[in-house]
Structure 1
C-alpha cells in the first residue's frame, strides 16, 4: 500500500519532468525569429483556407505549407538532430531562413489577388488629399525631367542591393551575437507585418490608379528602365501599404546606428544607409509607386522594429541562457 502511494505521489513529478523536458526541447529548437516567420506563414495559410480552391489558391497554399516545412526542417537540422557538422547546420539554417523570406515575397503576385481581389486605392488617395490637399505624386510631376528621374531611379533601384548587403554582412559575415538576433527579428518583423499589410490594405498605387491624371509617362533613362523591368518581373503589383521600400532601408539605418553605440565601425554604414533611405523614400512617391500614407505607414513600421527588435533580442538571449540553451546562432 505504501509503495503504491509512493508510486502515485511520484507520478505527477515524473509527468512534470517529462513536460519540462519537452518544453526545453521546444524552446531550444525555435527562436524568436523562427516564431515570427512561422506565425506569419500560419496566418497566410489560414487566410488562403477561406478562399475558393482555384489553381492559384492551391498553388499558394502548397507553397506556404512547403515554407512552413522548410523552417521546421531547418530548425531541427540546426539545433536538434545530432551528428550533423556545424558548418552544415549553419548553412542550412541561414539559407532556409533567407530563402523562405524571399519566396514569400515572390509568391505575393499570385497570393494577394486570391486573398484580397479588391483594392482600396480610392481610400488611400482620399487620405492623402485630406492631409496634403492634393495627391503628392501628382504635384511632383513638375519634376519629371530625365536628370531628376534618373537620380531617384538610381536610389530606388539601390534598395535591392542595400537589402542584399545588410543580409550578407549581418547574417553571414558578422560574428554571431545579440546583434545578429536583433537584425533577424527586426527584418522578419518588417517584412512579415508589411506583407500582412498588403493583404489588409491592397492597392495598385498612383501609377495605375491615377494614370489618366498624369500629363505623361515617366521621363527616365537607364536606371528608370532597370526599375521598371524589375517591378514588372518580380513585383507583387498590389504591394503598396505599407511601403517596404520605406520601411526596410529605414530599419537598416536604425539597426546600424544602434550597433554604432557599441561598435563605431557601424557609424558610417548607418549614415550612408540613412542618406540612401531618404532618397528612396522620396522616390517611392515621385516615381508614382506609392501614396504618401504608404510612406508614413512604412516609417511607423520601421521605427516600431527599431524599438522592439533589440528588446526581443535581449529577452531571447537571456531566456536561452537561463535555460542552459545555446545561442540562437550557435550551431557547434
Structure 2
C-alpha cells in the first residue's frame, strides 16, 4: 500500500491530509445541517435583503434618520433569526404556537421593511431618475402613457380604477392568509413564500437602484388638471401620503405582486381545479390594477413592464427553487420547512 497518494493537482498528500479533508467536509455538512434546521429559503432571502439595505445605508454616509434606520434593520434581523430559531428548534413548545409565531414574524418583517422605505430610500439615493424613465417610455412607446391616459380623467373612470388600485392591499392580505394560514402546509406554501419574498425583496432593491417619484410628481406641470377622483381616490391618496415610500416607482410592485399571486394560483389550479376561479378573479383585479398605476399617474410604463417581468420571472423560478430546497433539505435529513413537529 502506498504511504503517499498523488492528488489530481499533482501534489502529494499523506493519509493524515486526506483524513483532515474528510473531517472538513463532514464539518461543513454539519454546519449546513444546523443552518438548514433553522432557516428556510424565504428566511435567507429576507435576511439577505435586510443585510443588503443595511450595507447601503452605511455606505451612504451620515444623514438624517440613518442611525435609526440601521438600528431598525438590525432589530429586524434579530427578530427574524429569533423567530426562526424559536419556530424550528424550540421543540418543547407546541407546534401550533411555534408555527403561529413564525408566520406572525414573517408578516411583521415584510410590513416593517416596506414602511421603513420612506426613510431608507432618500438616504440610499437622494437623486431622482424620473427624466430617464420618461425618456425610456418615449423611446419605446412614442408617448408617455401616464400623460396620454389623461383623456380618461373623468370621475367614473378614475373611481373605477382607484377602487382596483386600493384593492391591492386586500389582495396582498387575503393571499397571505389563504396561503400560509388556511392552506395545508407543504410545497405550495413554500412556493408562495419564496416567490413573495423574491418579488418584494428584488422590487424594493429596485427602488434603491432606480429612485424616482413617478409622473404624479415629476410631470405635475404637464397635466391639465388634478386627478378627478372621489371616495376611492381619496382613500388612495390618504394611504399613499400616510405610509407610502414616495420614491417606490421602478419596478411597479402594484403590478408585480397581484400578477405573481394570480400566476401562482393558476399554477396550483393545474392540480386543483377549484383554484381556477380564485386565479381568474385575481388576474382580473391584476389587469385593472396595472392600468390604474398609469391612469392615476403613479407609474411610468417602463415600471409596469419591469413589474410584469418580475412577476413572470418569480412564477418561473419559484417552483424550481422550492423543489431544489426540498431535495436539499431531504439530503440533510430535514422535512419541508413549513412542517413543524
- TM > 0.5 fold call: yes
Q: 1:150 aligns with which of 145, 151, 159?
A: 159
In structure 2, the CA distance between the partners of 1:134 and 1:86, relative to structure 1 (3 Å rule), is: same
Aligned to 2:79: 70
Aligned to 1:54: 63
Q: 1:266 aligns with which of 245, 250, 275?
A: 275
Deviations 1:150-197 (A, max 9, x none): 000000000000000000000111000100000000001000000000
Residue pairs, 1:102-181, within 5 angstroms:
102-181=111-190
Deviations 1:269-311 (A, max 9, x none): 1100000000000000000000000000000000000001111
Residue pairs, 1:250-329, within 5 angstroms:
250-329=259-338
1:327 CA displacement: 1.3
1:79 CA displacement: 1.2
Query: TM-score, normalised to structure 2's length?
Result: 0.93
Distance in 2 (CA, whole Å) between partners of 1:182 and 1:215 is 45
Distance in 1 (CA, whole Å) between partners of 2:200 and 2:23 is 43
SS of residue matched to 1:122: helix
- Alignment partner of 1:186 is 2:195: yes
Distance in 2 (CA, whole Å) between partners of 1:244 and 1:16 is 42
- Alignment partner of 1:96 is 2:105: yes
SS of residue matched to 1:239: coil
Distance in 2 (CA, whole Å) between partners of 1:9 and 1:268 is 59
Q: 1:20 aligns with which of 26, 29, 36?
A: 29
Distance in 2 (CA, whole Å) between partners of 1:11 and 1:196 is 42
SS of residue matched to 1:53: coil
Matched pairs, number? 328
Query: TM-score, normalised to structure 1's length?
Result: 0.95
Distance in 2 (CA, whole Å) between partners of 1:155 and 1:13 is 59
Q: Where does structure 1 lack aligned partners over 5 or more consecutive residues? A: none
Q: 1:44 aligns with which of 45, 50, 53?
A: 53
Q: Which has the higher mean CA deviation after the structures are superposed, 176-185 or 21-30? A: 21-30
Distance in 2 (CA, whole Å) between partners of 1:157 and 1:8 is 64
Q: 1:30 aligns with which of 31, 36, 39?
A: 39
Distance in 1 (CA, whole Å) between partners of 2:137 and 2:188 is 37
Residue pairs, 1:188-227, within 5 angstroms:
188-227=197-236
Distance in 2 (CA, whole Å) between partners of 1:145 and 1:18 is 67
Distance in 2 (CA, whole Å) between partners of 1:218 and 1:8 is 74
In structure 2, the CA distance between the partners of 1:12 and 1:118, relative to structure 1 (3 Å rule), is: closer
Q: Where does structure 2 lack aligned partners over 5 or more consecutive residues? A: 1-13
1:55 CA displacement: 3.6
Distance in 1 (CA, whole Å) between partners of 2:71 and 2:171 is 31
